[in-house]
A and B are shown apart, each in its own frame.
Chain A
Amino acid sequence: MSDLLQFLFSGLTRGSIYGLVGIGFALIYRSSHVINFAQGEFVMIGGMVTVFLLAAGVPLPVAALGAILAAALIGVVAQVAIISRMRRPSTLSIIIVTVGISMFLRGAAEALLGRQFFSMKGFSGDDALVLLGAKVSPQSIWIFVSLVVTTAAISLFFRRTILGKGIQATSSNRLAAHLVGIDVPAVLAICFALSAALGALAGLLTTPITLTQYDVGITLGMKGFCAAILGGLANPFGAILGGLILGFAEALAGGYVSSAYQDAVAFILIIAMLLVRPNGLFSAPTVDRV
């Protein structure tokens, strides 16, 4: 019983991170029908910038904010300077470009920082708490609370602000969005900024537990992508649930089967999903235009 509880806590922690990364995929897919394979690199940037700002003596909240803003800025630059300038972009060519951006960012991190691991202390120390007989690191609680707060904030943003509605409108009908006066290029850039910021948040939250390295974005990006696919790709809230499902599945597989198979769980879930429910677990039936 306490084993199971231990696995569930571990699943919740992983799942929350995957969910945060997954929202980024979903936001960009939703607004521009692009899969941004550089999403994982923003996770790396979030962790790295925080580590280095902390080492430079900057207090944690400022370092975290700085890392999130740095990632958002890089996201906007990538979108405005490269992706939005593509002539006749096809889905495939944009995917190739985002893979290129991801390789560039990873390569730059490797050249600047080498291949070693970097770490930082947990936000509230590293002494595990005991909850119902299972050990939980305080960082896991930070991670879970951040996921809840982010989800609530995003939901409010989409339901209550005109900019949030403008993003939905842009994804729903691009021509009509232009004609009601939405600055569509700006909306697309904002979505890239938001996705990068969420990726960076995931990165700086997880670094005390998993450490960070120039190429952590490969695995975390893949897991976030899986979370988004499970959730239906265009649905940010689906991505969160998808992330949690993946996190629990991995933790249970790692605990009861073998940790060697843990990373295969994501692939198995993606393949099963694409075979059985290609539109994701939570996608509403599509509304046909009359």
Chain B
Amino acid sequence: MLLSISSLSCAYDGLVALRGVSMHVAEGELVCVVGRNGAGKSTLLRAISGVQPVFGGSIEFDGADVTRLASPKRVKSGIVQVPEGRQVFPEMTVEDNLRLGGYRRRSEISERLEKAFEMFPVLRERRDSAAGSLSGGQQQMLVVGRALMSRPRLLMLDEPSMGLAPQMVAQIFKTIQLLKNSGTTILLVEQNAAGALALADRGYVLETGQIALAGAGRELLKDPRVRRAYLGN
């Protein structure tokens, strides 16, 4: 198992955000976590990245316990997150943003940069522009490209389609599909449950900090509870 989480709990100022979450992701899988606003999806990804304190449970990555590991070491071991809200370095150039993605894999930066430009040609055109001047969709490509710079073993995407025009949403989902086909292991958080579950091998439904349902992507799509709560029918 590439990632296995058992009984993970997190809190903000005593306010519990995750209680006893257990889940796993196997090598090459695309696993999706859906849930409403405030369910704890981002908290889960932040805990896996090590930028969120954990008060109970454990996180194992590739057989090693990483629960207490500092975030740079997790990046180095291949856990890379694209956080929600398109967190670019706005004053820095597109190229610098991408290069920084390779901070923990410096020897491969030029080679990976070329790959990122091939994948997102618009980033090559804008390579000298400030990242903050890109459109929302371009910024989303930039942060995905930045994450790929370090050749992640587990790529976590937090609501990559949020706030984008339908055309861009389609392109982002296509990119995720491409990454999956090329063998990248992906943990995807989405509010767009229909799009995400259709793509995913397996899914988890998170409700107020707990796993409410788990199963294959297509099964969850058919589940009446999921349909009622997340798909509006």
Contact = CB atoms under 8 A, between A and B. Distances in A.
A and B from one complex? yes
A176 B92 CA distance: 13
Interface of B: 49, 51, 70-72, 74-76, 80-81, 83, 86-92, 96, 99-101, 103-104, 106, 109, 130, 132-136, 139, 143, 146, 150
B103 A182 contact: yes
15 contacts: A165-B100, A173-B87, A173-B88, A173-B89, A175-B51, A176-B88, A176-B143, A179-B51, A179-B71, A179-B75, A180-B100, A180-B150, A181-B104, A290-B135, A290-B139
Interface residues of A, number: 21
B81 A179 contact: yes
B133 A162 contact: no
A287 interface: yes
Contacts of A162: 99-100, 103, 106, 109
Interface in A113-131: none
B101 A180 contact: yes
Contacts of B51: 175, 178-179
Given A173-B89, A179-B80, A290 B75 contact: no
A170 to B, nearest CB: 9
Given A176-B83, A179-B49, A179-B75, A169 B92 contact: yes
Contact of B92 (A168, A175, A178): A168
Contact of A288 (B49, B104, B132): B132
A175 B71 CA distance: 11
Interface string A257-290: 0000000000000000000000000001001111
A168 B92 CA distance: 8
A288 B139 CA distance: 13
Contacts of B150: 180-181
B148 to A, nearest CB: 12
B90 A173 contact: yes
